[in-house]
């Protein structure tokens, strides 16, 4: 029996003379043999669904001759090979008419120039060790483009004949690669996401606004007589805007190497090592590494930043801000600023008109380069109380930074420690530092020295002062930071006796990941709502109820909230009834347990749910597509006298499981009863007259603005009030910011730039007319948005690329009218979106340094109909009555 096995095991080795070849680690060349290949590589750019015919791109083809130069006598898999490229042709990648073909009639020599062609055709050497490229030798003087194209060819000689996963270097960088070998065929799959290379880009930290990519690279080798018979590679990269995957760009790169014939070639050279043989054959050959090197894209005839600014400055004037041209110019200017020096940036800042300057500050700050930050810090003087507008624009742009670093935070920390002329600016600086701490922590930088210092400052802030505005400032900074360490502080301040501390703390707790909200915190919030320890203002209790109901409430918590309804002050009661209905209607996470509790509560008494009042809570969908969903909510709480107490409008965006708090506009008012001769609610008799508004935009809480504070301020503003809304935030924001270099295996490189910009103007106001016994609150949002994606392959002799973009201009108004001459008062809320244009463009281009070019442009426009977002039926009925009585 054993003998049979032994025999069977012996047979293969007896009858297989090629075992040595099967054992080879990689391809082996024969001595005295010249292998002649044909080679071509193509690059194509198009939208994700594009076909080859419609793509922009080009094709390089040539002959490639390969021979063995030296082999280590003791190791057959240690070989030095020479590769020579010849008969180079550069041409169109798909069929094109002569008119649209930029390569028509062009010779390779006219395209590349004599010198570059000679460099490309100069032989180079590759040291192959066990099938891996361990040395790459060429002339140092050759341009990076030429070296990279040669590295691209070398990448097709790196192959192992056994299956397995390895980490190896090639033109793409250091990557994890999987080989699958079977019967003279080897498939190499490169995990491109693992590649580490010299050039790295950046992506927006907000996922919903980001760009996501998918790429793959597969090379199939066929082997014959121990060497490569063919190698066919295809690599695809698709980059898409997360919130609108239709806005995508695709880069396809292919390489094909095919053995044409073999003939007698040079003999092996003798030598000790590959390096010494290279030196003895050509002194000018140097080992330069196989990984692609950075190609400096030279900008021939490019505009200087100053020229660019002069050409576009009109589009930065305030009256252009509501049009898409404003964010479009903003994005293009950022590209120029990113290439400019501090001196050039300062020159532009100094030359700008007073009216365009705030928008220019947005662009310079959003650029986020060391030069742009340096220029801003030199340009602004924070000690000057008159420079508030520019200072705040700078601070907000820092807060919205797409990929902030420690330096920005350090700059703000320096500012906060220095002399600041305006108190508002001092507050904004600290509040924005909180936002930067959050962004840096999310990127893993929570232990950076500056972050640690700022964390300490804002965590110790609230307890370090008695000044109400300073405590608020620190609490708002902590609300931005989302530091887990701040949760106990928020729990403490939620129970404070100052209403504003409570509301900031409660709204901050609502922003945290639910896993961080402990039972102890929940107990605190419940205590506030149920007033177990102290009497709270109604708006504080409403905010507490929001936290309870949105923090995965237990059955008991829900039951207690339901039991409280019926015994609350009348407007709060109405608010809570409305809130419960909204949760059920919108199917929020708490709706299941709420439904169960309501069913189980036999004592449940529907009468309590039918209380009159004007307060309300409502949520709905704004947009719903396969890629993204936008929801809104609108909560309003009145005082018993009919004056607004708190209105809170929110817009959330979700995409692929990621959530973005796009907008929150909260208006708070109190102590206005004396003005209209009404009786204040119980427990609210001593509140100072106040109205103000605070906004949170793209996850960043901004400094609240005050409409008026105190009775005399109210009276003076009452009589001078022009009805002009007050600006909360205005300017240009860089939302999406993705920059990436895609190193292709062919040695070519694609640069991808996706940017999204927004021109925004949010303002709000409150008017009270004693004569008509009517009050009106309005929040006006104006926005123009542009998203562009630009992918370019730029080599010294040809440039090709594509640009996808879309733009829209939108406005959303939210107006509440209250007539308080009778009770229950008439309240009408309107949330209107006007019809807005949506435009989409696709441009593909190819051009030669001679100026010859081809551009294909496609566009598509539509109008998105306006609408009034549905609120509750009761509201619609009331609006009818309000406008009837107006007529
Ligand atoms: C390039 O265009 C020409 C016509 O101008 C066509 O004959 C040729 O086949 C095209 N090349 C490729 C690779 O499709
Ligand atoms: C902040 O101030 C320190 C000390 O004055 C200085 O060394 C540093 O360069 C400043 N950083 C920035 C970003 O301005
Ligand atoms: C909340 O935290 C948990 C655990 O850290 C995590 O798995 C989850 O994704 C987080 N949720 C959100 C919405 O970030
Ligand atoms: C896209 O890139 C090309 C080449 O760099 C440039 O000419 C064009 O202006 C860019 N477009 C945008 C929107 O940046």
pLDDT of residue 16: 38
Last-in-domain residue among 255, 287, 319: 287
pLDDT at 236 over 50: yes
pLDDT at 19: 36
Least trusted range by pLDDT, from 228-237, 401-410, 584-593, 838-847: 584-593
Of 38-47, 166-175, 465-474, least confident by mean pLDDT is 166-175
pLDDT of residue 65: 95
Percentages of the chain per state (helix, strand, coil), in multiples of 5:
35, 35, 30
| Shared domain check, 465 and 428 | yes
3-state secondary structure of 883: helix
Ligand in closest contact with the CA of 589: 3
612 alpha-carbon distance from chain centroid? 45
Q: Mean pLDDT over residues 259-280, rounded?
A: 89
Of the candidates 67, 58, 53, which has an alpha carbon nearest to the alpha carbon of residue 88?
58
35 within domain boundaries:
yes
Q: In whole angstroms, give the CA distance from residue 580 to residue 618.
A: 10
Which residue CA neighbors atom 6 of ligand 1 most closely? 95
Which ligand is closest to the CA of 552, given by its number? 3
User: Does the beta carbon of 414 sit less than 6 angstroms from any atom of ligand 2?
Assistant: yes
**Residue environment code for 518-538, b if the CB has 16+ CB neighbours within 10 A, otherwise e:** eeebbebbbbbbbeeeeebbb
| Residue 145, in any domain of the structure | yes
Q: Which residues contact 756 (CB under 8 A, 6 or more apart)?
A: 209, 241, 331, 734, 735, 736, 737, 785, 786, 787, 788
> In angstroms, what is the span from residue 685 Cα to ligand 3's centroid?
43
Point out the domain boundary residue: 446, 464, 482.
Answer: 482
Residue 537 sits in the same domain as residue 498 = yes
**Separation of 42 CA from ligand 4 center, angstroms?**
22
Q: How far apart are CA 777 and CA 816, in angstroms?
A: 5
| Residue 768: inside a domain | no
Ligand 3 centroid – CA 635 distance (Å): 27
The pLDDT assigned to 610 comes to 65
Q: Is 198 in the same domain as 60?
A: yes
User: In a 3-state reduction of DSSP, which class is residue 14?
Assistant: helix
Mean local confidence (pLDDT), 116-133: 93
Asked whether the predicted pLDDT for residue 664 surpasses 70, the reply is: yes
Domain shared by 62 and 200, yes or no = yes
- Asked whether the beta carbons of 203 and 755 are under 8 A apart, the reply is no
| Nearest atom in ligand 1 to 101's CA | 5
Q: Whose CA is nearest to atom 5 of ligand 2?
A: 414
pLDDT of residue 886 exceeding 80, the answer is no
Residues 255 and 112 both lie in one domain: yes
**Alpha-carbon gap, residue 207 to 551, rounded angstroms:** 23
Q: How does pLDDT run across 61-70, given as a tens digit for each residue?
A: 999 999 999 9
From the CA of 59, give the closest atom in ligand 1. 13
The 10 Å Cβ neighbour count of residue 101 is 17
Measured between alpha carbons, how far is 480 from 400 in angstroms, rounded to an integer?
A: 12
Condensed to tens digits (0 to 9), the pLDDT of residues 433-492 reads: 999 999 999 989 999 999 999 999 999 999 999 999 999 999 999 999 999 999 999 999
Q: Say if ligand 1 is within 6 A of residue 42 CB.
A: no
3-state secondary structure of 18: coil
* Stretch among 110-114, 269-273, 284-288, 864-868 having the lowest mean pLDDT: 864-868
SS3 of 161, please? coil
Mutation to probe ligand 1, out of 96, 100, 101, 846 (largest number of atoms < 8 A from CB): 96
Q: What is the mean pLDDT of the segment spanning 342-363?
A: 95
Determine the average pLDDT of the residues in 10-18.
39
The answer to whether the CB of 106 is under 6 A from ligand 1 is no
pLDDT of residue 882 exceeding 80: no
Q: Which of 333, 335, 363, 750 to mutate to test the pocket of ligand 4 (most atoms within 8 A of CB)?
A: 335
At 298, is the pLDDT very low, low, confident or very high (cuts 50, 70, 90)? low
Closest ligand by atom to 398 CA? 2
Do residue 85 and residue 119 come from a single domain? yes
707 located within any domain: no
Alpha-carbon torsion (416, 417, 418, 422), positive or negative: positive
- For position 5, what pLDDT does the model report? 46
What residues flank ligand 4, with Cβ below 6 Å? 332, 335, 753, 788, 790, 792, 801, 803
Probe ligand 3: pick from 513, 550, 654, max atoms within 8 Å of CB? 513
Alpha-carbon distance 97 to 108, whole Å? Answer: 19
Ligand 3: which residue has its CA nearest to atom 10? Answer: 513
Torsion sign over Cα 429, 430, 435, 437: positive
Choose one of 257, 287, 317: the last residue of a domain: 287
pLDDT at 493: 96
Residue minimizing CA distance to atom 3 of ligand 2: 414
Structural domain that includes position 117 = 2-287
Residue from 398, 410, 451 to probe ligand 2 pocket by mutation (most atoms less than 8 Å from CB): 410
What pLDDT is attached to residue 18?
38
Residue 747, phi then psi, degrees to nearest 5:
100, -15
Residue 868 lies in a domain: no
Q: Judge contact between 690 and 668, C-beta under 8 A.
A: yes
**Whether pLDDT at 602 is above 80:** no
**Comparing 350-364, 478-492, 504-518, 709-723, which segment has the lowest mean pLDDT?**
709-723
According to the 3-state scheme, what is the secondary structure of 181-245? EECCEEEEEEEEEEEECCCCCECCCCHHHCEEEEEEEEEEEEEECCEEEEEEEEEEEEEEECCEE
Nearest ligand for residue 514 CA: 3
Average pLDDT over residues 582-591: 85
Q: Tell me the pLDDT tens digit for each residue of 682-725.
A: 777 777 888 888 889 999 999 998 877 887 777 776 655 555 67
pLDDT band at 338 (very low <50, low <70, confident <90, very high): very high
Mean pLDDT, rounded, for 750-767: 87
> Of 105-114, 301-310, 478-487, 621-630, where does mean pLDDT reach its minimum?
621-630
> Is pLDDT of 50 > 80?
no
Give nearest CA residue, ligand 1 atom 14.
Answer: 94
Q: Which of 514, 515, 661 to mutate to test the pocket of ligand 3 (most atoms within 8 A of CB)?
A: 515
Indicate whether 705 belongs to any domain. Answer: no
- Closest CA relative to residue 517, chosen from 468, 553, 466: 553
Most confident of 570-574, 588-592, 787-791, 871-875: 787-791
Q: How confident is the model at residue 680 (pLDDT cuts 50, 70, 90)?
A: confident
410 lines ligand 2 (CB under 6 A): yes
Which atom in ligand 4 lies closest to the alpha carbon of residue 788? 13
Give me the pLDDT at residue 869, please. Answer: 67
Instruction: Give the pair of three-digit tokens for residue 672.
Output: 């206005």
For residues 519 and 513, is the Cβ–Cβ distance under 8 A? no
Low-confidence winner among 217-231, 313-327, 643-657 (lowest mean pLDDT): 643-657
pTM: 0.87
Nearest to 572 by CA among 537, 605, 606, 607: 537
Residue 496 or 7, more confident: 496
Task: List the one residue out of 402, 396, 362, 443 whose CA is nearest residue 203.
Answer: 402
Q: Is the CB of 733 under 6 A from ligand 2?
A: no
Q: What is the pLDDT of residue 10?
A: 40
Residues touching ligand 3 (Cβ under 6 Å) are 513, 515
Co-location of 33 and 180 in the same domain:
yes
The chain-wide mean pLDDT, for the chain, equals: 87
Instruction: Report the nearest-CA residue for atom 11 of ligand 4.
Output: 790
On the question of a cis peptide bond just before residue 824, with omega within 30 degrees of 0, the verdict is yes
Over residues 131-149, the mean pLDDT reads 92
- Give residue 806 CA to ligand 4 midpoint distance, Å: 15
Using CA atoms, how far apart are residues 565 and 347, in angstroms rounded to an integer?
Answer: 64
| CATH code of the domain in which 141 resides | 2.30.230.10
Q: Hunting for tokens 């390969």 — which residue is that?
A: 66
Beta-bridge partners for 663: 651, 697
Whether 116 and 223 map to the same domain: the answer is: yes
CA of 515 to the centre of ligand 3 (A): 7
Number of structural domains (the chain) is 4
Ligand 2 centre to CA of 393 (Å) is: 21
Instruction: Find out whether the beta carbon of 59 lies less than 6 Å from any atom of ligand 1.
Output: yes
Same domain, 180 and 319: no
Are 493 and 576 in a shared domain?
Answer: yes
Domain assignment of residue 68, yes or no = yes
pLDDT score, position 823: 63
> What percentage of the chain carries pLDDT values higher than 70?
92
Q: Write the residue with the smallest CA distance to atom 12 of ligand 2.
A: 411
Ligand 3 atom 11: residue of nearest CA:
513
Residue 587: φ, ψ to 5°: 55, 50
With a 6 Å cutoff on the Cβ, whether 91 touches ligand 1 is yes
- Locate the ligand 2 atom nearest the alpha carbon of residue 373 and give its number: 13
Angle between helices 555-564 and 570-586 (to 10 degrees): 140
What torsion, rounded to 10 degrees, do the Cα atoms 106, 109, 113, 114 define? -170
Residue 352 CA to ligand 4 centre (angstroms): 24
Is 781 among the domain residues?
no
What ligand 3 atom has the least distance to the C-alpha of 659?
13
Q: Are residues 90 and 163 in the same domain?
A: yes
Identify the residue whose C-alpha is closest to ligand 3 atom 14. Answer: 513
Same domain, 247 and 325: no
Digit-coded pLDDT (tens) for 529-575: 999 888 888 889 999 999 999 999 998 998 888 888 888 888 898 89
Q: What is the structure's pLDDT at 713?
A: 75
Q: Name the band, by pLDDT with cuts 50, 70 and 90, for residue 606.
A: low
């Amino acid at each position: 029996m054993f003998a049979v096995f032994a025999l069977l095991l012996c047979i293969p080795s007896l009858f297989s003379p090629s075992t040595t070849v099967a054992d080879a680690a990689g391809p082996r060349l024969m001595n005295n043999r010249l292998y002649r290949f044909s080679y071509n590589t193509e690059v194509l750019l198009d939208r994700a669904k594009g076909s080859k015919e419609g793509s922009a791109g080009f094709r390089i083809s040539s002959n490639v001759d390969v021979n063995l130069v030296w082999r280590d006598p003791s190791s057959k898999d240690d070989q030095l090979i020479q590769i020579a490229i010849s008969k180079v042709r550069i041409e169109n990648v798909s069929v094109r008419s002569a008119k649209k073909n930029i390569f028509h009639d062009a010779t390779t020599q006219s395209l590349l120039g004599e010198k570059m062609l000679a460099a490309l055709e100069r032989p180079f050497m590759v040291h192959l060790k066990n099938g891996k490229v361990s040395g790459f030798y060429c002339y140092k003087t050759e341009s990076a483009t030429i070296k990279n194209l040669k590295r691209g060819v070398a990448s097709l000689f790196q192959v192992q004949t056994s299956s397995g996963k390895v980490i190896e270097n090639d033109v793409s960088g250091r990557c994890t690669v999987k080989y699958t070998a079977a019967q003279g065929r080897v498939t190499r799959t490169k995990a491109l996401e693992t590649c580490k290379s010299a050039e790295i880009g950046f992506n927006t930290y907000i996922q919903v606004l980001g760009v996501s990519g998918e790429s793959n690279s597969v090379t199939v080798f066929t082997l014959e007589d121990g060497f490569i018979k063919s190698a066919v590679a295809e690599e695809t990269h698709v980059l898409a805007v997360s919130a609108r995957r239709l806005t995508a760009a695709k880069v396809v790169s292919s390489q094909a190497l095919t053995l044409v014939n073999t003939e007698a070639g040079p003999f092996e050279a003798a030598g000790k090592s590959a390096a010494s043989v290279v030196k003895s054959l050509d002194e000018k050959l140097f080992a330069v590494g196989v990984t692609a090197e950075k190609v400096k894209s030279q900008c021939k005839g490019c505009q200087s930043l100053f020229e660019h600014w002069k050409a576009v400055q009109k589009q930065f004037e305030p009256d252009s801000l509501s049009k898409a041209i404003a964010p479009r110019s903003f994005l293009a200017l950022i590209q120029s600023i990113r290439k400019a020096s501090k001196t050039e940036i300062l020159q532009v800042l100094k030359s700008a008109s007073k009216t365009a300057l705030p928008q220019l500050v947005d662009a310079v700050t959003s650029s986020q380069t060391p030069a742009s930050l340096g220029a801003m810090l030199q340009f602004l003087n924070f000690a000057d109380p008159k420079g508030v507008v520019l200072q705040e624009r700078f601070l907000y742009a820092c807060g919205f930074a797409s990929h902030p670093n420690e330096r920005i935070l350090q700059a703000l920390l320096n500012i906060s420690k220095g002399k600041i002329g305006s108190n508002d600016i001092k507050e904004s600086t600290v509040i924005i530092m909180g936002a930067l701490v959050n962004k840096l922590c999310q990127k893993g930088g929570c232990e950076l020295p500056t972050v640690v210092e700022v964390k300490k400052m804002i965590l110790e802030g609230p307890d370090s002062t008695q000044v109400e505005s300073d405590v608020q400032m620190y609490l708002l900074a902590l609300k931005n930071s989302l530091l887990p360490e701040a949760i106990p502080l928020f729990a403490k301040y939620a129970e404070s006796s100052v209403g504003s501390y409570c509301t900031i703390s409660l709204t901050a707790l609502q922003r945290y990941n639910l896993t961080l909200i402990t039972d102890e915190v929940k107990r605190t919030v419940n205590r506030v709502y149920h007033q177990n320890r102290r009497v709270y203002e109604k708006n504080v209790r409403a905010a507490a109820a929001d936290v309870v109901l949105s923090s995965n409430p237990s059955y008991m918590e829900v039951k207690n909230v339901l039991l409280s309804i019926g015994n609350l002050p009348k407007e709060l009661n109405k608010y809570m009834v409305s809130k419960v209905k909204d949760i059920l209607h919108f199917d929020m996470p708490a709706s299941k347990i709420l439904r169960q509790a309501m069913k189980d509560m036999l004592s449940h008494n529907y009468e309590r749910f039918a209380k009159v009042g004007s307060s309300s809570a409502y949520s709905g969908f704004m947009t719903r597509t396969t890629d993204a969903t936008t929801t809104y909510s609108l909560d309003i709480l009145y005082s018993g006298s009919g004056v607004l107490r708190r209105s809170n409008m929110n817009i959330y965006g979700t995409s692929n499981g990621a959530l973005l708090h796009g907008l929150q506009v909260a208006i708070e008012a109190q102590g206005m009863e004396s003005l209209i001769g009404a009786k204040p609610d119980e427990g609210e008799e001593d509140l100072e007259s106040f109205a103000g508004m605070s906004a949170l935009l793209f996850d960043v809480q901004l400094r609240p603005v005050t409409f008026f504070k105190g009775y005399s301020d109210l009276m003076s503003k009452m009589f001078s009030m022009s009805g002009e809304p007050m600006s909360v935030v205005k300017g240009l924001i860089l939302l999406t910011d993705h920059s990436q270099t895609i190193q292709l295996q062919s040695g070519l490189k694609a640069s991808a730039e996706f940017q999204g910009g927004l021109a925004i103007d949010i303002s709000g106001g409150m008017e009270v007319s004693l004569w008509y016994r009517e009050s009106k609150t309005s929040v006006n949002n104006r926005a123009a948005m542009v998203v562009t994606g630009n992918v370019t392959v730029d080599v010294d002799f040809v440039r090709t690329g594509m640009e996808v973009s879309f733009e829209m201009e939108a406005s959303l108004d939210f107006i509440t009218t209250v007539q308080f001459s009778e009770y229950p008062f008439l309240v009408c809320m309107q949330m209107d979106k006007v019809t807005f244009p949506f435009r989409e463009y696709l441009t593909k281009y190819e051009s030669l340094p001679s100026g010859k070019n081809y551009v294909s442009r496609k566009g598509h426009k539509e109008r998105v109909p306006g609408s009034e977002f549905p609120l509750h039926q009761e509201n619609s009925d009331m609006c009818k009555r309000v406008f009837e009585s107006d007529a």
